[in-house]
Structure 1
Amino acid sequence: MPIKLENVGIAVVDLDATIAFFTDLGLTVLGRDAVSGEWADTAVGLDGNHAKIAMLQTPDGNGRLELFEYIHPAAIATNPTLPNEIGMHRVAFSVDDLDEALEIAARHGCYPLRGVATYEDVYKLTYVRGPSGIIVMLAQELKQS
């Protein structure tokens, strides 16, 4: 059976602020909508489901994020995920320039959890706490000369 990853869905507190963060990093908005009705209740498993949504795509066309801001039922605040917690962990992106990506993240008030690390002279990377507490991994491949 063929299978293909379509997108990663993330519930957020502020859809516009989260879109601004990811578009500044280079993703593009494919579309925005509001969803509700019986089909949405059935698909998601929430009665009265009503959310504003946006689909974003990476420049290479291979990665997509679907962001939702719940109108009803009300979003439930939780503590930000820790790197060692079970469940949805992080979303990861490769970038051409990690320093530039970190400058963009900082303009949105988003900073590394600890710092920047180098993995076996292959990647320079960090985890950033993004909007709505999302952990975003940014990694720059190190070029061999």
Structure 2
Amino acid sequence: MKKNKLLRMDNISIVVESLDNAISFFEEIGLSLEGRATIEGEWSGRVTGLASQRVEIAMMVTPDGHSRIELSRFLQPSIQSDHRNAPVNACGYLRVMFTVEDIDEMVSRLEKHGAKLVGEVVQYENAYRLCYIRGVEGILIGLAEQLVHT
């Protein structure tokens, strides 16, 4: 029997309260809005187990076109729990990490959108400068600046 193989990772999903604010924040990081739609109907509820759901989504894509974030705003049913302010050692979704050219410049731009450093910008050996920030709606984002380019 042939073993099924992974082809790619399509996207990760982040549930937000304000789609417009989240789109603006991820555009500031450098992602582009690929599309926006409302998902509803019997088929969608069968996928998620939420029965009669109605969700507005926005698909954000990285500059290389390979990675996507699906931002979701639930219109029905209402949001049941909130994990956005969980500490970085909580189980479950932790963060999305982006590699940027200039971490200091990116942090400065994101702070204008309300982002706050979780700790500080640190250097890992001679390879990376790294930090975690809490962005729009408390979403945890990692930033990495590669110091040695191969």
The aligned residue for residue 137 of structure 1 is 142
Distance in structure 2 (CA, Å) of the matches to 1:97 and 1:76: 37
Distance 2:76 2:138 in 1: 20
Cα distance in 2 for partners of 1:107, 1:16 equals: 16
Q: TM-score, normalised by structure 2?
A: 0.91
Number of residue-to-residue matches in the alignment: 144
Which residue is equivalent to 1:82? 87
Counterpart-to-counterpart distance in 2, 1:69 and 1:132? 12
- Residue identity opposite 1:53 in structure 2: I
Unaligned residue ranges in structure 2 (runs of 5+): none
| Structure 2 counterpart SS, 1:48 | coil
Amino acid at match of 1:23: E
- Paired residue for 2:118? 113
Q: Secondary structure at the match of 1:138?
A: strand
RMSD value, Cα = 1.2
Superposition misfits of 4+ residues, deviation over 3 angstroms: none
In structure 1, how many angstroms separate the alpha carbons of the residues matched to 2:124 and 2:75?
41
Query: Distance in 1 between the 2:108 and 2:81 partners?
Result: 28
Query: Does structure 2 retain, via aligned residues, the 8 Å contact 1:81–1:134?
Result: no
What TM-score do the two structures reach when normalised by structure 1?
0.94
Q: How does 1:12-31 map to 2 (within 5 A)?
A: 12-31=16-35
Counterpart residue number, 1:35: 39
CA contact (8 A) 1:81 1:133 kept: no
Identical positions, percent: 36
Q: Is 2:21 aligned against 1:48? A: no
In the aligned structure 2, how far is the partner of 1:105 from the partner of 1:49?
32
Structure 1 alignment gaps of length 5 or more: none
The reply on whether 1:7 has 2:11 as its aligned counterpart is: yes
Q: In structure 2, which of residues 48, 69, 73 is the aligned counterpart of residue 65 of structure 1? A: 69
Deviations 1:32-69 (A, max 9, x none): 00011101111111022111100011001121100001
Contact 1:124 1:141 survives alignment (8 Å):
yes
SS in 2 for 1:74: coil
Q: Kindly provide the CA deviation profile for residues 81-102 of structure 1, in whole angstroms up to 9, marking residues without a partner as x.
A: 2110111111010000101110
Instruction: Letter of the 2:78 partner, please give it.
Output: A
